[in-house]
A and B are shown apart, each in its own frame.
Chain A
Amino acid sequence: ELKVEQNPLFLSMQEGKNYTIYCNYSTTSDRLYWYRQDPGKSLESLFVLLSNGAVKQEGRLMASLDTKARLSTLHITAAVHDLSATYFCAVDGETSGSRLTFGEGTQLTVNP
């Protein structure tokens, strides 16, 4: 059974600071996704990582994938209040077909 673990689960940080969210998964994977969810809203796709060593950046967020370590990171640079949300990683395992297995989510609060 594919397991996906995120840490930390809760993150409170000051504006302007940097931090990294980690996503570990338990089996080989074709694809890894990062999603953002605002309270009461649906999931917004942030990044799709398809191969070992993949790195993608959008604004203050950068995601990377190490398939050998079964690890993805979401790095936040110079955080701003608008980044406050819950961030999920999700894995599409090789043997799981097209079903995504999600982590528990990291609830990020950026304080002014």
Chain B
Amino acid sequence: GAGVSQTPSNKVTEKGKYVELRCDPISGHTALYWYRQSLGQGPEFLIYFQGTGAADDSGLPNDRFFAVRPEGSVSTLKIQRTERGDSAVYLCASSPTRGTEAFFGQGTRLTVV
């Protein structure tokens, strides 16, 4: 596709459940980023992939959060034992390589009830 695609666009889950959020970056972009945006705030960095490897995962809040990008394209953000505080919009972005302009997807709005 022409842009960064994220699925699902909305996800409602019960506290304690496991969720997976998918990001399909722009074709050919080697750098992929996950951010989290809470209501009324700017996005906060979670993790950055260069190719298949997580080059910087220092933004992941705790070990319930994990992300993979096994083939260097699609990435999945996984959240275990969800908590109400995890409710936010999860944004994915990609860029041609490190340090170049990043393009954002539409986001997945996660609501934990």
Question: Contact residues of A with B, CB < 8 Å?
Answer: 4, 30-31, 33, 35, 41-45, 48, 88, 90, 92, 97-105
Contacts and interface: CB of A to CB of B under 8 A. Distances in A.
Interface string B41-80: 1111100101000011001000000000000000000000
Given A41-B106, A42-B104, A45-B103, A97 B42 contact: no
Contacts of A105: 40-42
A99 B107 contact: no
A62 to B, nearest CB: 19
Contacts, number: 59
Given A41-B106, A100-B35, 13 more contacts: A35-B104, A42-B91, A42-B105, A42-B106, A43-B43, A43-B93, A45-B104, A88-B42, A92-B99, A97-B48, A98-B56, A102-B44, A104-B42
Contact of B43 (A41, A48, A102): A102
A11 B44 CA distance: 23
A41 B103 CA distance: 13
Contacts of A92: 99
B55 A102 contact: no
Interface residues of B, number: 26
Contacts of A45: 101-104
Contacts of A104: 41-42
Contacts of A88: 42-43
Contacts of B50: 98
Nearest to B99: A98
A98 B33 contact: yes
A-B pairs with lowest CB-CB distance, top 6: A102-B42, A99-B45, A43-B104, A98-B98, A42-B104, A42-B106
B21 interface: no
B103 to A, nearest CB: 7
A77 B50 CA distance: 39
A35 B93 CA distance: 13
B46 to A, nearest CB: 9
B48 A98 contact: yes
A100 B99 contact: no
A7 to B, nearest CB: 13
